[in-house]
A and B are shown apart, each in its own frame.
Chain A
Amino acid sequence: MASKPRVRVPKKAKAGDIITIKSLISHKMETGQRKDKKTGEKIPRLIINKFVCKFNGKVVFSSDWHPAVSANPYMAFSYKVVESGEFEFAWTDDAGETVSKKAKLTVS
């Protein structure tokens, strides 16, 4: 359902810096409240319900999403840099499908 996610993490930063991490993913985010116009049946809910960001395997940011989140959700948050390593972002939807993406950060 979800397609290629995009994340923007600065490649380099100094220890102690507060960086902004941005992410965007393409997803329909079907709320479960719409009806099929022809059959009148409810379209089942299919949204991304969990977004997790790990750094070197440790969770640094996580959020639960609900039906009011728009399609193609954008999420940005701040992070205080400590050491070099790798971010891993993961989006999980109601179908249990997980899409993930990695990004490296080097402390200079």
Chain B
Amino acid sequence: MKRKALVLAGIGAVALAVPSVMTFAAEDWGKYQVGDTRSGYTFAKTETRAIQDDDFENPGMLWVEHGEELWETVDGEAQKSCKSCHADASDTMKTVGSTYPVVAKDIGKLENVENRINRCRTDNMKAKPWKYDSRNMLGMVSYVKRQSYGQPMNVKIDGDAASWFKKGEEFYNQRRGQLDMACKHCHVDNAGNMIRANTLSQGQGNGFPTYRLKWQKPGSLHRRFRGCNKQVRAKPYKTGSDEYLALELYVMYRGQGLPVETPAVRN
């Protein structure tokens, strides 16, 4: 009897020990955490983080290099390249990644890096605009945002941007689709919990365009929005649409203070 009791006590101890293993120890995430705001990096698996940590191994860097080549490539009737006007990207594009989307005064609209690049191409270079998630567009956006690598996210939400920010916030909290779920139900209420085999992150935008192992290539934040919307069985909006631009501003604001990680690697 005594032995049996001991065995039972042993099982009890094991059973009690399990929950303490399951709860995550407060880990020091360094620059990837600011207050309660945590980058998607902190929710990724160790192997995935290792790919991002090594610039050589990070396949997103292939697109950054492609963008670097495009920067100097002359295109369009105006016979200009990005370099013709903007000179050295490491200097002129330094704050773009951490501050976009911004309201452009000349068109009176919120604009992200993708839309800004295409406006430059059509208006200044007299070249054809690129498709939103094309190799060239992803390359150029990755290259431009990479120039802000490590800088804290700092988007402007007052003044002209205030109405856009409000729209974005409404979108974020608005239930949609057959599953009747809002962004916040996963990324605010359940961040850190499992959704089937994956860990839900806070849905931060500081690493985009992100190289997703599932996609086997980088993708824009708007592509990610479309995927999320489809998963709750809602009809997604178009990439580059006003709805997603407003949402982009709100999502970037949520990550205020996190470093720009472009190109991040996620599963």
Residues in chain A within 8 A of chain B (CB atoms) = 3-4, 6, 8, 22, 24, 26, 29, 70-72, 74
Contact = CB atoms under 8 A, between A and B. Distances in A.
Interface of B: 56-57, 59, 62, 65-66, 213, 216-217
A24 B216 contact: no
A71 B216 contact: yes
A4 B216 contact: no
Contact of B56 (A4, A8, A71, A72): A8
Nearest to A8: B56
Contact of A71 (B65, B66, B217): B217
A74 B65 contact: no
Contacts of B65: 4
Nearest to A72: B59
Given A22-B57, A70-B213, A70-B216, 9 more contacts: A3-B66, A6-B56, A22-B56, A24-B56, A24-B62, A29-B216, A71-B59, A72-B59, A74-B57
Contacts of B56: 6, 8, 22, 24
Given A4-B65, A72-B62, A24 B217 contact: no
Nearest to A5: B62
A6 B66 CA distance: 13
B67 to A, nearest CB: 13
Nearest to B215: A71
A72 to B, nearest CB: 4
A72 B56 CA distance: 12
